[in-house]
């Protein structure tokens, strides 16, 4: 495992290169040797998530008050993903960054203070594993075609439907879920769902052509009650949130 980029990068400074080496050393010790077993298990170990958290590699952008490092320079996140890719361990290279770089920003940017306090510290530590539940059996990745519904019941939403090919699905403790409510004003509005909620169930990890160590699976929702405080952002802006947080940029 190389400890520096194979091609010189003008966007990295000495601190970035030192971080590159730190992540590479960690990957050589904690990821590459375990990947064969993870591929047999069709998922990485929970212990690996906790070790990532102990070393400060998860959700680095989260503010210190929620347990993070407060690093807003996305180049560090990009280096972490690049090093994982260089290991050849495809499953981990997908699941870990999705947790930190896609799911975390939705909660960090649009969650209430109570939601941040509840979920972010455990995401930083690796105690909670996060998934983003977008893809559906009948719609694929077409977010406009979602059929999972969330009906407003006053103090909670009642969610019914299913998702498929969900990265981190089998291990997830929480899932960010875009919903298609009966009231179109809140179309695609994301909510945070606890995987231990009554009516939330998971299929077995898929046997796939690749990404064998990634616990991709189906998620099912049968009258799952989601508290109103788990709504992310303001009603009516959900699709904008979904599109905004799927893109990132490095600080200059």
Taking only the tens place, the pLDDT of each residue in 232-250 is 876 665 666 666 666 765 4
Tokens linked to 90: 């495809």
Tokens linked to 193: 């769902």
Which among 166, 228, 219 has a CA at the least distance from the CA of 195?
219
Task: Give the mean model confidence (pLDDT) for residues 47-70.
Answer: 98
Global confidence as pTM: 0.90
Q: Does the pLDDT at position 126 exceed 70?
A: yes
Give the residue extent of every domain in the chain.
14-128, 131-236
Alpha-carbon span 128 to 241, nearest angstrom: 22
Residue 252: predicted pLDDT: 39
Fold match between 14-128 and 131-236? Answer: no
Which among 240, 124, 114, 221 has a CA at the least distance from the CA of 175?
221
Lowest mean pLDDT among 48-57, 73-82, 144-153: 144-153
Alpha-carbon span 28 to 12, nearest angstrom: 22
Which architecture, in CATH terms, is 131-236?
Answer: Beta Barrel (2.40)
Tokens linked to 198: 């009554």
Which among 140, 64, 56, 138 has a CA at the least distance from the CA of 100?
56
Residue 177: predicted pLDDT: 78
Task: Give the mean model confidence (pLDDT) for residues 155-175.
Answer: 94
Which among 91, 70, 96, 71 has a CA at the least distance from the CA of 81?
96
Q: Does the pLDDT at position 187 exceed 90?
A: no
Q: Which residue has the tokens 């509840």?
A: 118
Residue 138: predicted pLDDT: 79
CATH of 14-128, one of 1.10.540.10, 3.40.50.2300, 1.10.1060.10, 1.10.357.10: 1.10.540.10
Which among 75, 64, 200 has a CA at the least distance from the CA of 131?
200
Per-residue pLDDT band at 5 (split at 50, 70, 90): confident
Which among 213, 209, 178, 212 has a CA at the least distance from the CA of 193?
178
- DSSP run (H or E) holding 194: strand 190-194
The answer to whether 204 touches 186, Cβ cutoff 8 Å, is: no
């Amino acid at each position: 495992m190389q400890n520096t980029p194979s091609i010189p990068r003008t966007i990295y400074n000495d601190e970035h290169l030192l971080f590159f080496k730190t992540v590479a050393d960690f990957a050589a010790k904690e990821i590459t040797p375990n990947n064969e077993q993870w591929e047999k298990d069709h998922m990485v170990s929970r212990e690996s998530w906790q070790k990532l958290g102990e070393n400060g590699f998860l959700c680095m952008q989260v503010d210190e008050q929620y347990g993070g490092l407060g690093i807003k320079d996305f180049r560090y996140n990009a280096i972490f993903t690049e090093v994982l890719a260089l290991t050849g361990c495809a499953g981990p290279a997908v699941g870990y960054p999705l947790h930190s770089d896609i799911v975390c920003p939705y909660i960090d940017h649009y969650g209430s203070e109570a939601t941040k306090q509840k979920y972010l510290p455990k995401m930083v530590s690796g105690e909670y594993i996060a998934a983003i539940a977008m893809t559906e059996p009948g719609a694929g990745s077409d977010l406009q075609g979602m059929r999972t519904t969330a009906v407003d019941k006053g103090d909670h939403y009642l969610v019914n439907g299913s998702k498929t090919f969900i990265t981190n699905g089998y291990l997830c403790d929480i899932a960010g879920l875009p919903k298609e409510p009966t009231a179109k004003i809140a179309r695609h509005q994301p909510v945070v769902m606890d995987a231990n909620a009554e009516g939330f169930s998971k299929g077995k990890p898929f046997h796939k052509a690749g990404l064998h160590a990634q616990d991709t699976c189906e998620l099912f929702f049968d009258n799952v009650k989601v508290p109103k405080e788990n709504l992310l952002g303001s009603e009516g802006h959900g699709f904008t949130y979904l599109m905004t947080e799927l893109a990132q940029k490095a600080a200059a």
